[in-house]
Chains A and B, each alone.
Chain A
Amino acid sequence: MGKTMIMKIMERASGKEVKIGDRVWCEIDLSTARDFGGANCTLQFDEITDKKGRVWDPAKIAFTFDLQAPSHSEKVSANQKIIREFAKRQGIEKVFDINWGIGQHVLLENGLVKPGDVILGTDSHMNLLGGVAAFATGVGNTDIAASWLNGTNWFRVPETMRIEVTGEFSCGVYMRDLLTLLVGDLGAGGMDFLAVEFVGETIDRSSLAERITLCSMVTEMSGKIGLILPNGPVLDWLAERTGADGDLVRQRVRDIAPDDDAPYCEVHRYDISKLEPMASCPDAPDNVKTVRSIAGEAVDQVHIGSCTNGRFSDISAAFEVLRKGGFKVSPKVRTIITPATREVMAQCAREGFIEKFLDAGVVFTNPTCSLCTAEHYGALPSGDVGCSTTNRNFIGKVGKGSHTYLMSPASAMATAVRGVVTDPRDILC
């Protein structure tokens, strides 16, 4: 019997042959924490080592400030300071402060992520790095503090689900719509404890941003990791970003490619040629309907961004809808766009997007997680309805008594332009 990608990754990281169901101790390539959860990790590490402990390898630890950047409260500012001081004391140089953007994206852009790496972080969407075949997973502060002690952590070798995707997206339909369809089909627990391999011609042709979108929401089906083997322009980009490790990146891709006879617990096949724009309706990601079927629903605020849909191509898709819609968002709706990173923001500036967005009535913010929490700008008041490209819409997530629709950046911008939920094909196609 052959091996799946996650089995090969865990064999490399644990140094031993593995079977599904085994518990293994894997060497950690990168152990990260954000502003949220980061102080919990550093305080815990200090507590368990009586403040005398040294981390196992300062070069393999990174901090990213993204959830509340810049900080909006004294408590958060104090937590961020705790992290900065810990990093200084421990000789940790990879501190991506409030100017950088969303952690996983920043790590990726800075060449710190290779296929086959095992990466931990205090963000349940760490697994979007599976878009370049890294095994990255969100964990709690105890897992992080433990990994800092000796550079390892425990994992169960999971079963793998295989999802094959064929066909081309039609006008107004995007990877986010496929993802929303998947969440609806498989449900919130549909991938619990599983690894997933995304394959097929549609995946082979997909961009890095699309792969990130797809893998990020494996979390919303409780999956362990969604993996896509880098190829073509994605592989070239990754090799270039990792610099000296570029050859290693290509070698890793060969090493972790799944065997032809690898075991899969489930196989799902999707032809996306006839897929329509989809939405997660209040109050759960797996409450899925077509955008067409909910068109006309009133919304108070539109938000485009997040680790799931905050790349340049996401903002570019929204820009195209705005352009075709007459460069004006509805005055009835507050529209907020948040790029994932400063690199994305700089590209938006170079392309002249930002001025057009501002003139159209959009609030264009610094790179951050923004509306993934109720504790940053844009929180919704009770009774308001939001429309967002983030990944969760549980009741009250971004404000008590509020409700949120999740959809693609194009659908969200179409909704901003018309002031009610709108199928983007009505404007674009």
Chain B
Amino acid sequence: MGEVLKGRAWVFGDDVDTDLIYHNKYLAETDPKKMPQYSFEYYPGKEKFAKGVKPGDFVVAGKNFGCGSSREHAVYCLKEAGVPVILAETCSRIYYRNAINNAYPVLFVKGLSEAIKCGRIKDGDSLSVELDTGEINDVTSGAHFHGDAVSDLERDIMDAGGLIPYLKAEKGRR
């Protein structure tokens, strides 16, 4: 049995744009460690995320998470805050790439968008997440979900620790 992660849920809707995750106002920042302080500052109702998030808490979202800009800041700001995995029904493609390139796990959870809308998973719920199997339990509501991890080359890049370590290990492939 794999490691079971436990933490609180921070719940977001569909089509969360990167400006809502990490606003363009702070794009000049180049140090990933300084990025968490700006997370979700512009997301209505989630202004307290940056101060309130604890290492181990989960970001839970509906469809098309991370749409919009290509800024990698939107991955760093959550990874550096200690959010261990993104749980989303789907991810927008550039965000997906940026997450994989940083070996930052995303679980794709069928039905999550609807579950969020119906309140079956809410802000502050206690979750347990098993990364290896994708089993997700909302201990507070009793709801159960299953998430799929990435596969194929994306899995290999994740396992290598991200794109740069992967390339260094493979010496450029091809």
Q: Point out residues on A near B: beta carbons under 8 Å.
A: 15, 23, 25, 36-37, 39-40, 43, 48, 67-68, 73, 75-76, 79, 122-124, 137-143, 145-146, 149-150, 152, 154, 188-189, 192-193, 219-220, 222, 224, 284, 286, 372-375, 392, 394-397, 400
Contact = CB atoms under 8 A, between A and B. Distances in A.
Give the interface centre of B44, B70, B163, B164 by most chain A CB atoms within 10 Å. Answer: B70
A375 B172 contact: no
Interface residues of B, number: 42
Contact of B67 (A48, A154, A189): A189
Interface stretch (B14-22, B118-126, B131-139): B14-22
A141 B174 contact: no
Contact of A222 (B28, B92, B157, B167): B92
Give the interface centre of A123, A124, A140, A152 by most chain B CB atoms within 10 Å. Answer: A140
Contact of A152 (B23, B63, B157, B172): B172
A142 B98 contact: yes
Interface string B72-101: 100100000000000000101110011001
B72 A40 contact: yes
A137 B94 CA distance: 9
Contact of B92 (A23, A39, A73, A192): A192
A141 B20 CA distance: 19
Contacts of B97: 139-140, 143
Nearest to B64: A189
A36 B28 contact: yes
Contacts of B141: none
B24 interface: yes
B116 to A, nearest CB: 15
B30 A39 contact: yes
Contacts, number: 128
B46 to A, nearest CB: 12
Contacts of A400: 42
A76 B28 contact: yes
Interface in B132-167: 152-154, 157, 162-164, 167
Given A36-B28, A150-B172, A189 B94 contact: no
B57 to A, nearest CB: 23
Nearest to B157: A154
B68 interface: yes
Interface of B: 14-15, 17, 19-20, 23-25, 27-28, 30, 42, 44, 63-64, 67-72, 75, 90, 92-94, 97-98, 101-102, 152-154, 157, 162-164, 167-168, 172-174
B159 to A, nearest CB: 14
A189 B69 CA distance: 14
B25 A374 contact: yes
Given A140-B75, A224-B93, A374-B23, A149 B172 contact: yes
A48 B92 contact: no
Give the interface centre of B14, B71, B157 by most chain A CB atoms within 10 Å. Answer: B71
Given A36-B28, A124-B68, A220-B67, 16 more contacts: A67-B27, A124-B69, A124-B70, A124-B94, A139-B70, A140-B97, A143-B97, A145-B164, A152-B173, A193-B93, A219-B68, A222-B67, A222-B92, A374-B25, A375-B27, A392-B19
Contacts of A143: 97-98, 101, 163
B24 A397 contact: yes
Contacts of B68: 124, 219, 392, 394
B71 A37 contact: yes
A23 B153 contact: yes
9 contacts: A36-B28, A73-B28, A138-B69, A152-B172, A154-B153, A373-B25, A375-B24, A392-B19, A397-B19
B28 A79 contact: yes
Give the interface centre of B44, B64, B90 by most chain A CB atoms within 10 Å. Answer: B64
B27 A395 contact: no
A189 B92 contact: yes
A149 B171 CA distance: 10
A188 B67 contact: yes
B101 A395 contact: no
Contacts of A396: 19, 23, 42
Contacts of A67: 27
Contacts of B94: 124, 137-140
Contacts of B24: 372-375, 397
A403 to B, nearest CB: 12
A140 B23 contact: no
A372 B67 CA distance: 15
B64 A192 contact: yes
Per CB-CB distance, the 6 closest pairs between chain A and chain B, nearest first, are A140-B72, A189-B64, A138-B70, A23-B153, A373-B24, A150-B172
Contacts of A123: 70
A245 to B, nearest CB: 24
